[in-house]
Structure 1
Amino acid sequence: MVIPVHDVNPVQRTPYVTYALIAINFAVFLFTPGIAGSVTGDSGVSQLCHLQAFLERYAAVPQELIHHQMPRLVPTGEVGIGPQGPGCVAAPPDYDKSPPLSVLTAMFLHGSWLHLLGNMLFLLIFGNNIEDRMGHVRFTLFYVACGYVAGYGFALLNDDSGDPLIGASGAIAGVLGAYLVLYPKARVWVLVPFLVFLPLRLPAWIVLGFWFALQAVYSSGGAVSTAGTVAYAAHVVGFLAGMLLAWPLRPGTPPPPAPRSLLWGRQARHTW
């Protein structure tokens, strides 16, 4: 797995929407009950019960999206003592939930610091160029559309699942798909784990193509959607949606700067 750290692809306008999305994701995470107090996302029983109740209300659930089957009992956030020890109390929901709206709210929920930081890193590196090409308003609509396509695509493939689906990964996968279509030759600095982290500058089509191939392979082995696992199928659907939506913009997209060398940042030398 390669870790992107920077792309060599300057922008003409400030990516306000990208910055705003990152800020909102961090703000929501910090106010998510029971999760932001730990670097790993691990918490005690009380915090876990608050988190489960919060996700049940605001996360997207495939059964609810496809069949509109609302659960009869949901976690309340309270802790009770049962035969097996402390556990989360469940009761009939005292709120109305809109399944379509839950897809939007789920885009701003994350299960751990690692989940959040990984998503925001990809959005920061690749989102600014897509916003620069599309403009602020179109990029906002594009981002939300990819998130919805990814969420409902995953739900269709897992329509019997009652587990919450959270994270910005589906929408960000759409950004990656658009980047592959619009800037396949842009150079991306990545860290490749090989004994140590080896810095390389690779074409975007290699970096993003490899990322997509991994998601496709993982999703073929069964996709999951709990807060502690990864919904690979949502990544695949979101990536393909981003490619399709960005395809009409290819003809007028200016090429990225020509690299001075294939892998490294130094000026190439010609020898005889």
Structure 2
Amino acid sequence: MVIPVHDVNPVRRTPVVTYALIAANVFVFLFMPGLSGSVAGDSSLAQTCHLHAFLEHYAAVPRELIHHQLPQLVPTGEVRGAACVVNPPGYEKSPALSVLTAMFLHGGWLHLLGNMLFLLIFGNNIEDRMGHVRFALFYVACGYAASYGFAVLNADSTDPLIGASGAIAGVLGAYLVLYPKARVWVLVPFLVFLPLRLPAWLVLGFWFVLQAVYSSGEGVSGAGTVAYAAHVVGFLAGMLLAWPLKAGTPPPPEPRGLLFGRRARPRHSW
């Protein structure tokens, strides 16, 4: 797996929405139950119960999205048989709204940092091209498409779906459509991490193929599993939504310096 670190694609305006999304994701992660110490002093069972209740309230659950059935108990893991009530009587959860809140929840530091790295590198150019408001709407739309797409494929799953990966996959899909020839600096693991500057179509195309291959038979984010199918759907949604903008996209700057480890040859106009 290659790790992107920078793209050679300058922007004309400050990507305030991209920065705001990153700040919001970090803020929510720091104050999630089980990480912030908000349940300090409770027993392990109580902490687990509290975390499950938090996820049931704010994470997207495929079965809820498709069948609108809200579970009343969490009978798994450490709380099996402990009657951990997550939806008390009278509680009304909006499955559709939970898709939005789930976009700001992450299962660990690596999950968070990986998503924010991709958003920082590729999101600024998409926001620059679309404008602040349209980019915000685009981001949310891709997140919804990814979550509902995954839910359709896993309609009976009761595992919580969390993370910004689906929305960010949409950003990657849009970048592939709008800036396929832009150069992206990546680190390639080969004994050591080798820095290479590759075209975006190769970096993002390789990423998409990996997600598509991994998507068969995989589960939901959390408990050591990843919702690869949500990444695939989000990526395709981003490509589709960005396609109408392709005709008016200014070309990325002419690549200079290293290309696939060699110095690029200058091009001449005739």
TM-score by length of 2: 0.89
Counterpart-to-counterpart distance in 1, 2:46 and 2:232: 35
Q: Report whether the alignment pairs 1:172 with 2:168.
A: yes
Q: Is the 8 A contact 1:35 1:51 kept in 2?
A: no
2:226 corresponds to 1:230:
yes
CA offset at residue 226 of structure 1? 4.3
Quote the Cα distance in structure 1 between the aligned partners of 2:205 and 2:51: 35
Q: Is the 8 A contact 2:178 2:249 kept in 1?
A: yes
Give the match's secondary structure for 1:90. coil
Following superposition, the deviation at residue 165 of structure 1 comes to 0.2
* Mapping 1:249-264, distance limit 5 Å: 249-260=245-256, 261-264=258-261
Deviation of 1:269 after TM superposition, in Å, equals: 8.7
1:157 alignment counterpart: 153
Q: How does 1:29-48 map to 2 (within 5 A)?
A: 29-36=29-36, 45-48=45-48
Q: Which residue in 2 is equivalent to 1:91?
A: 85
Aligned position for 2:113: 117
Alpha carbons of 1:70 and 1:117: their partners in 2 closer, same or farther (altered >3 Å)?
same
Alignment partner of 1:128 is 2:124: yes
Per the alignment, residue 57 of structure 1 pairs with: 57
* Aligned-residue offset at 1:46: 4.2
Task: Give, in angstroms, the shift of residue 93 of structure 1.
Answer: 1.6
Secondary structure of 1:206's match?
helix
Aligned residues of 2:60 and 2:102 also touching (Cα < 8 A): yes
Q: Quick one: distance in 2 between partners of 1:140 and 1:90?
A: 37
Relative to structure 1, is the Cα distance of residues 189 and 100 closer, same or farther in structure 2, using a 3 angstrom cutoff?
same
Report the TM-score when normalising by structure 1.
0.88
Asked if the contact 1:201/1:265 (under 8 Å) is kept, the reply is: no
Secondary structure, counterpart of 2:121 in structure 1? helix
Q: Which sections of structure 1, spanning at least 5 residues, go unmatched?
A: 38-42
SS in structure 2 of the partner of residue 159 of structure 1: coil
Q: Which moved more, 1:251-260 or 1:210-219?
A: 251-260
User: Offset at 1:91?
Assistant: 2.4
4+ runs of 1 displaced by more than 6 Å? none
2:13 equivalent in structure 1: 13
Tell me whether 114-123 or 65-74 shows the greater mean CA deviation.
65-74
C-alpha distance in 1 between matches for 2:118 and 2:68: 33
Q: Is the 8 A contact 1:35 1:47 kept in 2?
A: no
The alpha-carbon deviation at position 121 of structure 1 amounts to 0.3
C-alpha change, 1:265 and 1:96, in structure 2 (3 Å) is: farther
Aligned length: 256
SS of corresponding position for 2:7? strand
- 1:64-79 to 2 correspondence within 5 Å? 64-74=64-74
Which of 178, 187, 198 is the equivalent residue of 1:182? 178
Work out the CA distance in 1 between the residues paired with 2:129 and 2:266. Answer: 34
Rounded Cα–Cα distance in structure 2 between residues aligned with 1:183 and 1:208? 11
Secondary structure, aligned partner of 1:223: coil
CA apart distance, 1:265: 8.4
Match of 1:239 in 2: 235
Tell me the distance in 2 between the aligned counterparts of 1:199 and 1:56: 42
Aligned equivalents of 1:52 and 1:25: distance in 2? 19
Per-residue CA deviations over 1:121-177 (Å, capped at 9, x if unaligned) read 000000000000000000000000000000000000000100000000000000000
Structure 2, unmatched stretches of 5+, are: 38-42
TM superposition shift of 1:223: 2.7
Cα pair 2:255 2:264 within 8 Å, conserved: no
**How far apart in 2 are the matches of 1:12 and 1:44?**
50
> Which structure: greater strand fraction?
1
Paired with 1:226 and 1:15, the residues of 2 have a C-alpha distance of 28
CA RMSD of superposed structures (Å): 2.2
Q: CA deviation at 1:44?
A: 5.0
For 1:40, the equivalent position in structure 2 comes to: none
Partner residue in 1 for 2:40 = none
